[in-house]
Amino acid sequence: MSAAPTATREVVMRVYRGDKDGGREVEYRVPVEPGMVVLDAIHWIQAHRAPDLAVRWNCKAAKCGSCSAEVNGKPALMCKSRLDHFAADEPVSVRPMKTFPIIRDLVTDVSWNYEVNQRIPPFTPRKNAEWKWLQSDVDRAQEFRKCIECFLCQDVCHVLRAHEMKHQFAGPRFFVRIAGLEMHPIDGADRGEFLKDHAGVGLCNITKCCTEVCPEGIHITDNAIIPLKERVVDRFYDPLQWLWRMVTGKK
Amino acid sequence: MSERYETHEHDVLVVGAGGAGLRAAIEASAAGASVGLVCKSLLGKAHTVMAEGGIAAALAHVDPQDGWQTHFKDTMKGGSFLNHWRMAQIHAQEAPDRVRELEQWGALFDRTADGRILQRAFGGHTWKRLAHVGDRTGLEMIRALQDRGVHQGLDVYMECTVTRLLKDGDRIAGALAYWRESGRFVVFKARAIVLATGGVGKSYLVTSNSWEYTGDGQALAYDAGAELIDMEFVQFHPTGMVWPPGVSGLLVTEGVRGEGGILRNSKGERFMWKYLPEARRGEYAADEAEARRWVEASVEGKQTDAKRPPELSTRDNVSRAIYTEVKEGRGTPHGGAYLDISYLPAERVKKKLPSMYHQFLELADVDITKQPMEVGPTTHYIMGGMRVEPDTAATTVPGLYAAGEAAAGMHGANRLGGNSLSDLVVFGRRAGAAAAAYAKSLASAPRVSDAEVEAGAREMIEPFERSSGESPYEVHRALQDCMGSLVGIYRIEADLKQALERIEQLKSRAAKVRVEGSRMFHPGWHLARDLKNMLTVSEAIARAALLRKESRGAHSRLDFPALDMAQGGVNYCAKKTASGMSVAATPLPQMPAELKALFDAAPAAQKVGA
Residue B1 lies in a domain: no
Q: What does the pLDDT read at residue B268?
A: 97
Residues B394 and B266 in one domain: no
Q: Residue B602: pLDDT above 60?
A: no
Any chain A CB within 8 A of the CB of B244?
yes
CA-nearest residue of chain B to A116? B150
- Does residue A3 carry a pLDDT above 70? no
Taking a C-beta distance cutoff of 8 angstroms, is the pair B130, B312 a contact?
no
Each residue of A18-77: pLDDT tens digit?
999 999 999 999 999 999 999 999 999 999 999 999 999 999 999 999 999 999 999 999
Rounded-to-integer distance, Cα B428 and Cα B22, Å: 8
Give the domain-ending residue among B399, B424, B450: B450
For residues B536 and B437, membership in a common domain is answered with no
Taking a C-beta distance cutoff of 8 angstroms, is the pair B521, A107 a contact?
Answer: yes
- A85 with A24, same domain: the answer is yes
Q: Are B376 and B333 in contact (CB under 8 A)?
A: no
Among residues B237, B387, B502, B526, the one annotated as catalytic is B237
Q: Is there a domain that residue A2 lies in?
A: no
Of the residues B423, B450, B477, which one is the last residue of a structural domain?
A: B450
With CB atoms and an 8 Å threshold, state whether A62 touches B364: no
In this predicted structure, the answer to whether residue B3 has a pLDDT above a threshold of 60 is no
Is any Cβ of chain A less than 8 angstroms from the Cβ of B133?
A: yes
B604 pLDDT higher than 50: no
Q: Note whether A85 and A202 are same-domain residues.
A: no
B570-577 β-sheet, strand order: B385-386, B228-229, B570-577, B580-587
- State whether B364 and A46 contact (CB < 8 Å): no
Q: Do B44 and A149 touch (CB under 8 A)?
A: yes
Of residues B42, B115, B473, nearest to A66 (C-beta):
B42
Q: Is B237 a catalytic residue?
A: yes
User: Which residues make Cβ contacts (< 8 Å) with residue B129, sequence separation at least 6?
Assistant: B56, B57, B58, B59, B63, B66, B71, B119, B121, B122, B418
- Looking at residue A225, what DSSP letter applies? I
**B42 contacts A110? CB cut-off 8 A:** yes
- B191: helix, strand or coil: strand
Shortest alpha-carbon distance between residue A219 and chain B (Å)? 16
State the total domains in chain A.
2
Report yes or no on A3 lying in a domain: no
B480 CB neighbours in chain A (<8 A) are none
Question: How many residue pairs bridge chain A and chain B with CB atoms within 8 Å of each other?
Answer: 173
Q: Please tell me the number of Cα atoms within 13 Å of B356 on its side-chain side.
A: 36
| Cβ pair B522:A51 closer than 8 A | yes
Catalytic, B257? Answer yes
Cα–Cα distances (Å) from B131 to A183, B65, B143, B471, in that order, read: 21, 16, 16, 44
Amino acid at site B479: L
Q: Are residues A39 and A122 in the same domain?
A: no
Domain boundary among A108, A125, A141: A108
Q: B472 vs A46: CB contact, 8 Å cut-off?
A: no
pLDDT value, residue B537: 98
Average pLDDT over chain B, rounded to whole?
95
Q: Work out the number of other CB atoms within 10 angstroms of the CB of residue B11.
A: 22
Give dist(CA A31, CA A11) in Å, integer: 6
**Nearest residue on chain A to B104, alpha-carbon basis:** A125
The answer to whether the CB of A71 falls within 8 A of the CB of A78 is: yes
Cβ B108–A142 below 8 Å, yes or no?
Answer: yes
The reply to whether A99 and A140 lie within a common domain is: no
How many domains are contained in chain B?
3
Is residue A4 one of the residues assigned to a domain?
Answer: no
List the CATH number of the domain containing B12.
Answer: 3.50.50.60
Same domain, A126 and A69: no
Count of H helices and E strands in chain A?
A: 10, 7
**CB count in 10 Å sphere of residue A200:** 17
Other beta carbons less than 10 A from residue B23's beta carbon: 31
User: Residue B85 pLDDT more than 50?
Assistant: yes
Subunit contact B151:A35, Cβ cutoff 8 A = no
Encode pLDDT of B216-256 as tens digits.
999 999 999 999 999 999 999 999 999 998 899 999 999 99
**What percent helix, strand, coil does chain A show, rounded to 5?**
40, 15, 45
Same domain as B120, residue B98: yes
Residue from B257, B380, B429, B476 carrying the catalytic annotation: B257
Contacts of B42 in chain A (CB under 8 A): 56, 66, 110, 114
End-of-domain residue from the set A108, A135, A154 = A108
Is B586 within a domain?
Answer: no
CB contacts under 8 A, B 2-61 vs A, are: 41-47, 49-50
Shortest Cα distance, chain A CAs vs residue B19, angstroms: 14
**Whole-angstrom Cα distance, residue A62 to residue B118?**
25
pLDDT in tens, B170-202: 999 999 999 999 999 999 999 999 999 999 999
Residue of A nearest to B114 (CA): A134
Q: Is the domain of B392 the same as that of B371?
A: no
Q: For B138-153, how does the pLDDT look when each residue is reduced to its tens digit (9 = 90+)?
A: 999 999 999 999 999 8
Q: B27 and B163 share a domain?
A: yes
Q: Are residues A103 and A118 in the same domain?
A: no
Q: Cβ of B90 under 8 Å from any chain A Cβ?
A: no
Q: Transcribe B368-415 into DSSP letters.
A: TTTSPEEEEEEEEEES-EE---TTT-B-SSTTEEE-GGGB-SSSTTSP
The mean pLDDT of chain A is 93
Residues of A in contact with B360 (CB under 8 A): none
Q: Is residue A224 part of a domain?
A: yes
Q: Which residues of B touch A52 (CB under 8 A)?
A: 515-518, 522-525
B601 falls in which pLDDT band (50, 70, 90)? low
Boundaries of domain holding A150: 111-248
Residues B55 and B170 in one domain: yes
| Confidence at residue A7, expressed as pLDDT on a 0 to 100 scale | 54
Question: Is B598 a domain residue?
Answer: no
| Yes or no, beta carbons of B151 and A118 under 8 Å apart | yes
In a domain, A180, yes or no: yes
For residues B525 and B516, give the distance between their C-alpha atoms in angstroms, rounded to a whole number: 8
Q: Look at residues A87, A108, A129 and tell me which one is the last residue of a structural domain.
A: A108
Contact A36 B244 (CB under 8 A): yes
* pLDDT tens digits, B514-552: 999 999 999 999 999 999 999 999 999 999 999 999 999
Q: Summarize pLDDT for A213-236 with one digit per residue, the tens.
A: 999 999 999 999 999 999 999 888
In this structure, the answer to whether residues B462 and B443 fall within a common structural domain is no
Interface of A with B in 92-131 (CB under 8 A): 103-105, 107, 109-111, 114, 117-118, 122-123, 125, 131
Nearest-by-CA chain B residue for A119: B151
Rounded Cα distance between B268 and B291, Å, is: 17
pLDDT for res A249: 73
Q: How far apart are CA B143 and CA A101, in angstroms?
A: 25
- Taking the CA atoms of residue B6, residue B7, residue B13 and residue B18 in that order, the dihedral angle to the nearest 10 degrees is -10
pLDDT at A12: 97
Q: What is the dihedral of CA B587, B588, B593, B594, to 10 degrees?
A: 160
Which pLDDT band, with edges at 50, 70 and 90, does A250 fall under?
Answer: low
Average confidence (pLDDT) over A9-24:
96
The rounded distance, in Å, linking the Cα atoms of B235 and B316 is: 7
List all residues of chain B from 503 to 532 with a beta carbon under 8 Å from chain A: 515-518, 520-525, 527
> How would residue B607 be classed by pLDDT, with cut points 50, 70 and 90?
very low
Confidence at A241, pLDDT banded by 50, 70, 90: confident
Nearest to B61 by CA among B99, B106, B13, B22: B99
What is the per-residue pLDDT across B95-126, written as a single tens digit (0 to 9) for each? 999 999 999 999 999 999 999 999 999 999 99
Same domain, yes or no: A80 and A148: no
The pLDDT value recorded for residue A236 is 87
Band of residue B417 on the pLDDT scale cut at 50, 70, 90: very high
Residues B256 and B277 in one domain: yes
The per-residue pLDDT for A251 is 58
Q: Do both A163 and A89 map to the same domain?
A: no
Q: Which domain holds residue B121?
A: 6-233+383-450
Same domain (yes/no): A163, A241 = yes
Which of B404, B420, B450 represents a domain boundary (last residue)? B450
Give the A window 164-203 contacts with B, CB below 8 Å.
181, 184, 187
Same domain, yes or no, for A194 and A140?
yes
Q: Do B245 and A33 touch (CB under 8 A)?
A: yes
Which residue among A35, A48, A105 sits closest to B244, beta carbon to beta carbon? A35
Span B585-609, mean pLDDT? 75
Q: Are residues B446 and B371 in the same domain?
A: no
Hey, is B156 helix, strand or coil?
A: strand
In a shared domain, residues B258 and B125: no
Q: Which CATH number does the domain housing residue A222 bear? A: 1.10.1060.10
Distance from CA of A245 to the nearest CA of B (A): 28
Strands B35-38 and B155-157, sheet pairing? parallel
CA-based end-to-end distance of chain B: 61
CATH assignment at residue A37: 3.10.20.30
Residues of B in contact with A134 (CB under 8 A): 111, 115
Closest CB from B49, B151, B362 relative to A59: B49
Geometric angle at alpha carbon B508, from B502 and B510, rounded to 5°? 95
What is the pTM for the complete model shown? Answer: 0.95
Q: Are residues A126 and A101 in the same domain?
A: no
Question: Is residue A157 domain-shared with residue A205, that is, in the same domain?
Answer: yes
CA distance B114 to B116: 6
B175 and B153 together in one domain:
yes
Asked if residue B513 has pLDDT above 70, the reply is yes
Confidence (pLDDT) at B610: 30
Same domain, B434 and B482: no
